[in-house]
């Protein structure tokens, strides 16, 4: 019969794995979206990824500032002062030397300062900032990988959800076709009126399931749009593709954990952060050591006053000096010691977080491998179950048409076939999601 042929065609279509996103566009402006295009849009438009990019630029700027603290510094220093009593424009350079005096003095100097020795504090701070810049770059790289995984996961779920909706719509249509056949049998007094009511109840149940599944699809589409950074275009996205291919991830090598740790950008970022904390601790300890600076100044002084008070002496004079300054920390209220304790605590906290991340990576690898095995096992079981459910439905229909079965058995067989089809679609999505999860755990791009 026509209905049986449709059922067999659906079984072959579904269990063969040709799972296209078959939902037709409701509008001519609907945009078909491949997975590669979705990933490209997400990498370009995701706001969190953009924020991490700016944080990476901030880390680069901090590194440049740390380098600048080791280089010579040149400043212009100007001042204007009013004194209660007259002050000499410049100190006397010999006994009995006359000079200009005024209670209003102006000065302008160019001051240069070069750090000669700081106990390694500046070099340690520069090294720490470079490591933090590397950590920020690795964090950005891992965030890109996480975003790709999230987009892929939602994309696969949408493809499967589209296929679930198609299965529900097909089952609805099959029940309506069967309803016509039952009505003819009722007219011929070969079926009871209650059979029509039972079919109508099952059709109504499929209708509410269809509404629920379409709502899930709408939510998933908006989640995808949010990941892409374009929520205003949520209704215009239509993921298209196939879940037919079942790539084999291969056997897990004994050294997979070590390889994953070397490949994971977030683990490398954590290691760089740990090294940066070591440098920061060394820089804090250098606060107990003396500092040596080479400083120099060249400028001019002006006495702003009436000429008679300068007594004929020049009220506009040049001045300059150069020297080496030694600064030895003696007492700072415990600030240096407190900073050392702070940096040591932060170092230990970072070390523990690195250990936690290593355990987390091991767990992610195990979970991804188990999910792949479970999804593949489900697919194998559902393939056999689908064939059996289709054959069971065919037998129950024939028994009902011959008057040897009940409509309840037919409807139960129809529901079993539908559940098998929808579970198969979701298992396909779970398998591809688990593969993406394994790639993320391994640190593969």
Task: Write down the pLDDT at residue 150.
Answer: 92
What is the rounded distance in angstroms from the CA atom of residue 413 to the CA atom of residue 432?
29
Q: Is 410 helix (H, G, I), strand (E, B) or coil?
A: helix
Domain boundary assignment for the chain: 2-71+125-288+345-442
At 233, list the tokens. Answer: 């275009």
The CATH number of the domain covering residues in 2-71+125-288+345-442: 1.20.1600.10
Beta strands in 177-241 (DSSP E): 237-239
Dihedral sign of CA atoms 223, 224, 229, 230 in order: negative
Element (H, E) at 379: helix 335-401
The answer to whether residues 83 and 107 touch, using CB atoms and an 8 Å cutoff, is: no
Q: Is 304 helix (H, G, I), strand (E, B) or coil?
A: coil
- Phi, psi (5° rounding) for residue 37? -65, -40
DSSP symbols for 12-77: HHHHTT-----PPPSSTTPEEE-HHHHHHHHHHH-HHHHHHHHHHHHHHHHHHHHHHTTS-EEEEE
Task: Write down the pLDDT at residue 231.
Answer: 63
Task: Write down the pLDDT at residue 249.
Answer: 66
- Residue pLDDT tens, the chain, 445 long: 433 444 444 444 444 443 333 334 334 456 678 888 888 889 988 999 999 999 999 999 999 999 999 999 999 999 999 989 888 888 887 887 787 888 888 999 999 999 999 989 999 999 999 999 999 999 999 999 999 999 999 999 998 888 889 888 888 888 887 778 778 777 777 767 787 788 788 888 888 889 999 999 888 888 888 888 876 655 567 787 777 666 666 656 677 888 888 989 999 999 999 999 999 999 999 999 999 999 999 999 888 865 545 455 667 888 999 999 999 999 888 999 999 999 999 999 999 999 999 999 999 999 999 999 899 888 888 888 888 888 888 888 888 777 777 778 888 888 888 888 888 888 988 998 999 999 999 888 6
What is the rounded distance in angstroms from the CA atom of residue 247 to the CA atom of residue 440?
16
Task: Output the pTM of the full model.
Answer: 0.78
């Amino acid at each position: 019969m026509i209905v049986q042929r449709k059922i067999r065609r659906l079984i072959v279509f579904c269990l063969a794995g040709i799972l296209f996103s078959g939902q037709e566009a409701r509008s001519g402006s609907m945009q078909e979206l491949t997975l590669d295009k979705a990933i490209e849009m997400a990498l370009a438009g995701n706001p969190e990824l953009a924020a991490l990019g700016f944080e990476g630029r901030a880390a680069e700027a901090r590194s440049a500032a740390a380098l600048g603290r080791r280089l010579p510094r040149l400043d212009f220093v100007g001042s204007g002062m009013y004194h209660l009593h007259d002050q000499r424009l410049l100190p006397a350079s010999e006994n009995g030397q006359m000079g200009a005096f005024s209670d209003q003095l102006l000065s302008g100097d160019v001051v240069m300062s070069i750090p000669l020795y700081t106990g390694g504090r500046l070099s340690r701070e520069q090294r720490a900032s470079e490591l933090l810049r590397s950590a920020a770059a690795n964090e950005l790289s891992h965030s890109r990988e996480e975003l790709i995984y999230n987009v892929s996961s939602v994309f696969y779920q949408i493809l499967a959800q589209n296929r679930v909706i198609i299965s529900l719509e097909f089952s609805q249509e099959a029940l309506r076709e069967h309803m016509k056949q039952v009505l003819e049998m009722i007219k011929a007094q070969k079926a009871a009126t209650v059979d029509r009511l039972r079919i109508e109840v099952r059709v109504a149940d499929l209708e509410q399931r269809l509404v629920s599944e379409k709502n899930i699809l709408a939510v998933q589409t908006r989640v995808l749009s949010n990941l892409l950074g374009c929520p205003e275009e949520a209704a215009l996205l239509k993921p298209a593709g196939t879940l037919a291919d079942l790539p084999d991830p291969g056997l897990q090598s004994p050294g997979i954990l070590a390889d994953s740790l070397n490949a994971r950008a977030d683990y490398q970022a954590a290691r760089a952060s740990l090294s940066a904390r070591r440098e920061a601790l060394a820089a804090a300890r250098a606060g107990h050591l003396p500092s040596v600076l080479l400083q120099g100044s060249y400028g001019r002084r002006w006495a702003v006053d009436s000429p008679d008070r300068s007594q004929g002496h020049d009220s506009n004079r040049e001045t300059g000096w150069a020297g080496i300054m030694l600064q030895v920390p003696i007492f700072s209220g415990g600030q240096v010691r407190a900073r050392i304790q702070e940096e040591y605590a932060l170092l230990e906290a970072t070390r523990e977080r690195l250990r936690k991340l290593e355990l987390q990576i091991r767990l992610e690898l195990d979970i991804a491998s188990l999910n792949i095995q479970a999804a593949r096992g489900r697919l194998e079981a559902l393939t056999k179950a689908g064939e059996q459910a289709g054959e069971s439905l065919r037998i129950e229909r024939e028994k009902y048409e011959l008057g040897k079965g009940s409509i309840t058995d037919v409807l139960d067989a129809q529901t079993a076939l539908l559940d098998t089809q929808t579970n198969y679609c979701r298992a396909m999505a779970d398998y591809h999601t688990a593969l993406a999860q394994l790639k993320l755990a391994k640190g593969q791009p």
